[in-house]
Amino acid sequence: MPKKKSILDFFKMKKEGEKVAWVTAYDFPTAQFAEQAGMDMILVGDSLGMVVKGYKGTVPVTMEDCIAHSQDVRRGAPNTYCIGDMPFGSYQVSDEKAVENAVRFLKEADMDAIKLEGGRRVASQIKAISDAGIVVFGHIGLTPQSSGQLGGFKAQGLTVESARDLIKDAIAIEEAGALALLLEAVPPEVTDFIAKKLKIPVYSIGAGLPCDGQLLICGDMMGMFQAFTPKFVKKYANIAEIEINAFKEYIKDVKVLTLGCGAAIATSKGWNTLIVPSLLIGVWGYIIGNYIGYFVGMMLQTIFQ
């Protein structure tokens, strides 16, 4: 089994140009599969609100949700670097609250790091959490928790001014003590600039290739999340189709077995030539069985009366 990576490995990978592959996971089996596949890291994203719980966004997700799912993931991937995602409301109120909640991810769910959204406006929370000895991942660009302010799930950094803002945010995040940064839905040129400018590893989700690694949401890449699929996502499987077909097959089997009839089995299997003979055998079996039952009953009656 490969050794569990540390944040130092991710700095080394940046230096050596080795890309990091990470994915979100929210449950025990997915975490197991990711670890078995050799994933570099796992994010227990608050995207669980959309992917697992069916919310429209991530805002309703609570600390309790994130801790519970982080625990499930840790049980499934004991040897993978795991990042807990701080949900909306868990770090905005004060530095103290931010540290308190960040600590919970380590103490209660054995996470290796936490991630939070925002640039300069959360620099003091990043510093406070980092000063408490916790590895912080920053996250800027399309930040789903503040998608209301962004006017929806929209790409960021498209104008010179907003690209400049992103760069200022990225620098502030590094200066505040974050040890990695995730860029979401920003132009690859901006990603390239930031990845070269910062000493910390810079990762992309829908922000192009020129950086230190890629993140995808497991529900998107596995074809499980059906509400929408972002344009940049490559679907590596179609789990929804596989599951729906398996469920259909099972439903058919249950109905057929309940009937307990050869003709029904022949129909479900597509053995068309056997349908009529099985039906006749079934009907004759029923008639003969009834007659035998009737005569046996009569005999018993005459014997015991």
Closer residue to ligand KIV (CB): 24 or 267: 24
Q: Which residues, other chains included, contact 158 with Cβ-Cβ below 8 Å and sequence gap of 6+?
A: 187
Q: Which residues, other chains included, contact 246 with Cβ-Cβ below 8 Å and sequence gap of 6+?
A: none
Closer residue to ligand KIV (CB): 194 or 263: 194
Residue 96: CB minimum distance to ligand KIV, A: 23
The radius of gyration of the chain's CA atoms, rounded to the nearest angstrom, is: 28
Measuring CA to CA, which residue among 124, 82, 67, 69 is closest to residue 99?
A: 124
Residue 46: CB minimum distance to ligand KIV, A: 4
Residue 157: CB minimum distance to ligand KIV, A: 15
Closer residue to ligand KIV (CB): 183 or 266: 183
Q: Which residues, other chains included, contact 5 with Cβ-Cβ below 8 Å and sequence gap of 6+?
A: 40, 41, 80, 81
Q: CA separation (Å) from 240 to 24, 28, 219, 226, 235?
A: 17, 19, 10, 8, 12
Per DSSP, the residues of 173-187 read HHHHT-SEEEEES--
Q: What tokens appear for 1 in the block?
A: 């089994």
Residue 85: CB minimum distance to ligand KIV, A: 5
Q: Which residue is nearest to ligand KIV (CB)?
A: 45
User: 230 exposed, middle or buried (CB, 10 Å; 0-12, 13-18, 19+)?
Assistant: middle
Closer residue to ligand KIV (CB): 227 or 287: 227
Respond yes or no: is residue 184 known to be catalytic: yes
d(CA 87, CA 145): 8
Closer residue to ligand KIV (CB): 63 or 205: 205
Set 16, 184, 243, 249: catalytic member: 184
Residue 254: CB minimum distance to ligand KIV, A: 36
Tell me which residues touch ligand KIV (CB under 6 A). Answer: 24, 43, 45-47, 85, 139, 144, 182, 184, 205, 215, 217
d(CA 140, CA 125): 15
In the numeric block, the tokens 């996250």 are attached to: 139
Quickly count helices (H) and strands (E) in the chain.
13, 8
Residue 215: CB minimum distance to ligand KIV, A: 6
Closer residue to ligand KIV (CB): 43 or 67: 43
Looking at the annotation, which residues are catalytic?
A: 184
